[in-house]
Structures are given as C-alpha cells and as structure tokens.
Structure 1
C-alpha cells in the first residue's frame, strides 16, 4: 500500500469503530515512552507502586521489546455506565455494599478482548499480512500512556484518561501492529485549575496532579487481602471493590452515562449487593454470583473482608449475629480480626458479649489485639 491507501485504511477503521463496539479509536507511534519511564522510576523510588504492576520497566515502556518491528499502536476506548438504574436501597437490617462502576457489567478484560479481536479480524480482511498483538489492563504497556499518545483523551489530575466526549468512564485497550498508520494528534484539553479530585480523595492518595500513591488509594486497599488500619477501614466506607470518588467529582463527567453496550450493563443486585449474605458465601457460590465481573479477580476474601468493614462502618446492630459467626468460626485470621473491629464499631451489648466470648479462645495475636482494642474503645464510640 502507498501512503494514501494507509490513510484511507485508517479513516475507514475509524468509521467502522462504532459497528465493532468501540467508542473511540486512535493511533499512536510505537516509539519508547521515555517520559513515562522516568515517571515510573520515580514512582518506584518513592514506594508508590501498588505491587500489581509488571516489574520490568523497559518492557512497560518500549513496544519493540514486546513486538518485532512495530509500526503503530492502535488504542481503543469502550464506554461504560456511571449511573445505576433502579438501584436497591441500603437500609437498616439490609445494608448494601458497592462495587466500583468499572466492575458493574461483564468483566471488561473479556469485553475489550472481544472488541480488539473484532478489530483485528476487520484489519486482516483488508491487510492479510497483518501482525498484531492486543492487550488489556494486564498487558505490559500502560493503557493510559498509549491512549494519551493516540489522542483518545488527556491525562487528568486524577490519573484517569478523560475523553472530551465520553469523560473518564471508559475502558482502554491497545493493539501493537506492523501497519504504518499515521499517529493521531494528542488531545490538548486539560483540567485547568480544577483540583476537585485531589481535594475529594478519601485518603489523600492523589499526592499531586497526576501523581498517585497507590499504597494509599482506596481502590488498591479494597483489593488487598491483609488486615487494614483503623483509619483505612473507616475510609473504605461500604466499598467492596474499587473507588470512584475522584471520577464522580470530576466536572467533565457530570451527566455522562453510557448504556450502548449490552454486555456492560449492570445488574443492580450485583453492583450493590446485600452485605450480610456475602459473609457466608462458599467459593462456588461466589464464583457463580460474581465470577463474571472484574471485581472478582482477587477472589472472595477481599470482598468478604470489605463487607465486614462496611457493616462496621454502618454500625448496623442487626449484623451482630453474622459478624459474631465470622469472629468465632472463620478460619481466616484477617477476617476474624476485621470482624472484631466491626463489632467494636457497632458497640452494642450483644457486640461486647461476642467480643468477650471470642477473646477467651482466640489464639492469633493480631486478632486478639483487635478484640482487645474493640473492647477498650467500645464505650468511646457511643
């Protein structure tokens, strides 16, 4: 193909995007992400990584280490819902948790891989010698860095990519190819002087514009499996997975809600599930109910721990029997310790009796400490 033919292919691809289930598409050069690498090195030196990232910074920032002689990277965005229609109420005796919006529909990893596969098939019909490698979230390249370079949107102060039309309610994915497509121009729009996201961050994890300390981020904290500090448990509120605060307060996102993709539409009962039933789910039941959402990727332990935290933050006295069951019988020390904290927050006489009963036979040091703290602090919580 000559340059005009490649330009035509690119234009046709953009025209076909909507039919392929893609809301925004752009092309980036495959040059190394030099500035990103410098930022990642600093991020690591400051101890701000979550631990979920790929370790090799060269492979995270140099497409040529992942793909033989890359010519372009095609970036895509697929928009998802931000509003829950007919949301069930959370009320006394029937308290509910909340999954972040990115986990409301079917697992976006599968959804975007489907979209990228359709795009690859579309391209191969027109370029039989296409070589391509697609990745979503768990790939080594930074989806956000690729999307920014490809003109999908700008990198916001909350570390999200904001598309001028779609906002930041978008999933991102990319495809490295051997196609010499002309790169798109980057979006010049920016956040301006707005700092609403930084101001609203529950734990101060947004330490500066575009600077995130993942170790403090509530979204990261909900995905850990360890015992959390009192401060962080209070900040989690009733979040079961993820945190949307910095996106909810963003003025650009105001009024934006995307419902065009059937496979991304939420089930209200899964997006805002009842908390107490979560505590007794078996592994099989958890997979049956939540296995198709992205928030299930760490298994049931973090979700159940967060459900215990949420019941403590609600101070829901009707949850005392269920929390007592966890405190007395759960084989996982982290869950028992967290249940002790939650019962201490609830602070009723029944909660105190459960804590005293548990203290008599608890052997784990961390769990005993939490029980003792809950008993000593209970009166001051009233």
Structure 2
C-alpha cells in the first residue's frame, strides 16, 4: 500500500489502530471547559474520539498526507491604491476537501479491488475524527507546538485525511516529537492564541476570527492585517518549514491573483463573480461576507487613502450592518478629510439606523478629529 501511494497522488500514508482516543477526549473536555473551541468542530466528543461510533467494529484507520506549496511564485505587488490581501496557503489551490476525497476514493478502489468485502469510511477535515490525532498515531508526523502535524519530509505544509476500515492491518509507529525547546510559533502568534505547546484558544486565532461572519473586535482587526482567509504565521516561523516548498500536485498550485487579490474590487463583488473567482478555493466555504469584511480591515490597516470612495460606498450602501460598521472603522484608520466627510454624511440625520454602525462611525469620526486636532497643535 505504501508503494502504491504515489500513484494515487498520496505523499505519505500511515496505519493506526482504531482504538478510542482516550487522552484526546480528556484534552477536548478541558478545551471545551476553557471556552477554547471554535464552534466549527463536531460537537459530540464521543464521536470525535471513538471510531466505533462511526463504523461498526473498526480495526484500522489509514491516515494520508498530501503536500502543498508554501511559496507564491511571481507574486503580484501590493502598492498604494492597489493594495492586496492574502489567503492562507491551505486555500491557494483547489479546495483540498475535493483534492483529498479524490485520493481517498482511489485508495478505497485500490483496497476493494484486493479485498472486495472490506468496509471503508473516508473523512477529510469536516469528519468527526481529529485528522491530527489520527495522523500522529499513524506515524505521519508529530503534533507540533503550533497544533499542526509536522513531518520530516514536508514540514507542516500538508493536508490530512483518513479512512476507517475493518481490515486488520499492522499499525505504524508514532514519530518522535521534534520541536524540542523551540517556541517560535508560540512567540510569534499575533493574538496569543497559542496559549501553550499544542494548546490553541480558537476564539483568538486569526484563522478562526477571519472565517466568522459577524463583528470583529478592534484589537483583533488590528492583528488581522491584510489576511483575507486563514493565518500562516505559526507555520512560517517554524524552522522545520524553512525552505520547504512542494509543487508536484498541479491542482494545488496557486493562481497569484486568487491567492493575493486586489482588495478594492472585492468590496463590490457580487455572488456570481465571487464564485467565479474563489469558488474552487477552500476560502469560499463561508461565502463572500467574511472575505469582504476582511478586505475592509485590510484597507484600513494599510491606511489606503485612495480606497476611501470604495469604503465609503460600503458604509452608505451595503445592506449588511457588519460590513458597514467595519467600513466605518476602516475610514477611521485611514483618516483624512475625505474619510471624515464620508463618516459625517453617514451620520447625518436618520440615515443610519443600526446602533452598532452608528457607534462605529461616531468612534471613527472622533478618532479622525483627534488626530487632526493633534496635527494642528503641532504646527
């Protein structure tokens, strides 16, 4: 099976026993008690840790890993008036859910051809089991302090998937932990979401925050920078990932204009255009609202004065209050007379009825005027 893996498009395959993940369950219970869950996970902790609840009498779990690129070739330049955002590397090429399911389907066909009576159940990311826990047990790599599975061959730039089966296959040995005393990922986390080695407070993780659909606290907006989807900081700083860039899967290669898109055009993008541009990427699963909100955050953090008309149009015309409030914040960050005028216009009379938007606009206006008065005082 290991020899067949490359022909199936699989870079690494491991075998684990299908015993319950008892230690993981203890960690998940504590994780929930601390309020560290993202809410995207399978809510039933028993299903997340007991394979027998998913497939009757399982004997084995197969774990697969597929490497993806970490470097963007011919990356477009971000410059004033043409500022760009960035998608995390896991969303650069084709949606990995589709890419890995195809490979798991091929692996299933390979197994059924040899053992027709075998029972199989495949999962990618959205399945109940923890991809990382399975991969760790199957010897794919070790669980790093950044909560990623790290391999000696591909670093942590890998997608994971697994297959439950009743086939009694000999298990592989786990890989020895290789982080040592290094804490670069913990030290570099922009929001302190890595609260300890292998411990993540998902509520503060930028990768989680910029996939939500609601309002974002100012503290976190400042940390998001120009990230439109996900966050790679804890992987970029990992010394094991240095120089690692595998590009042998064509469908996972990035389109630079998708991976690093212009921000201003995103603001007025309709559903159809959004699907045409981002529909093949994993970044599209939450729809366009989070991407557009994050584009506003990016323009605000760039203090891109040339984008004021575009941001102001969102503030006055967009039907979604979360985007209008974010636009107000962005104008406050950008500052200047044009931004001040746009905020004043939005607040005139009873034009804006949403309290959260009015509050954001008033706060932004105060910020601009404070900066302006301070500048006059220096003259």
Calculate the TM-score normalised by the size of structure 1.
Answer: 0.96
Counting matched residue pairs gives: 370
Q: Match for residue 9 of structure 1?
A: none
Q: Match for residue 3 of structure 2?
A: 15
1:67 aligns with 2:92: no
Q: Match for residue 319 of structure 2?
A: 331
Query: Cα RMSD over matched residues?
Result: 0.7
Q: Match for residue 376 of structure 2?
A: none
1:108 aligns with 2:93: no
Alpha-carbon offset, residue 135 of structure 1: 0.2
User: Contact conserved, 1:345 with 1:381, CA < 8 A, in 2?
Assistant: no
Measured against aligned partners, the alpha-carbon deviations of 1:240-269 in whole angstroms (never above 9, x if no partner) come to 000000000000000000100011010000
User: Contact conserved, 1:108 with 1:171, CA < 8 A, in 2?
Assistant: yes
Q: Match for residue 8 of structure 1?
A: none
Where in structure 1 do 4 or more consecutive aligned residues deviate above 2 Å? 379-382
- Report SS of the residue matched to 1:321: helix
- Report SS of the residue matched to 1:171: strand
Q: Which runs of 5+ in 1 are unaligned?
A: 1-12
Q: 1:28 aligns with which of 16, 20, 24?
A: 16
Q: Match for residue 331 of structure 2?
A: 343
Measured against aligned partners, the alpha-carbon deviations of 1:187-244 in whole angstroms (never above 9, x if no partner) come to 0132100000000000000000000000000000000111111110000000000000
Q: Match for residue 270 of structure 2?
A: 282
1:162 aligns with 2:158: no
Alpha-carbon offset, residue 80 of structure 1: 0.3
User: Contact conserved, 2:143 with 2:177, CA < 8 A, in 1?
Assistant: no
The equivalences for 1:55-134 within 5 A come to: 55-134=43-122
Q: Match for residue 352 of structure 2?
A: 362
- Report SS of the residue matched to 2:61: strand
Alpha-carbon offset, residue 381 of structure 1: 5.0
User: Contact conserved, 2:144 with 2:177, CA < 8 A, in 1?
Assistant: no
Q: Which runs of 5+ in 2 are unaligned?
A: 373-379
- Report SS of the residue matched to 2:331: helix
Q: Match for residue 175 of structure 1?
A: 163
Measured against aligned partners, the alpha-carbon deviations of 1:166-202 in whole angstroms (never above 9, x if no partner) come to 1000000000011100110000132100000000000
- Report SS of the residue matched to 1:172: strand
Measured against aligned partners, the alpha-carbon deviations of 1:259-280 in whole angstroms (never above 9, x if no partner) come to 0001101000000000000001
Q: 1:305 aligns with which of 279, 293, 300?
A: 293
> Residues of 1 paired with 2:368 and 2:138: CA distance?
54
Calculate the TM-score normalised by the size of structure 2.
Answer: 0.97
- Report SS of the residue matched to 2:261: coil
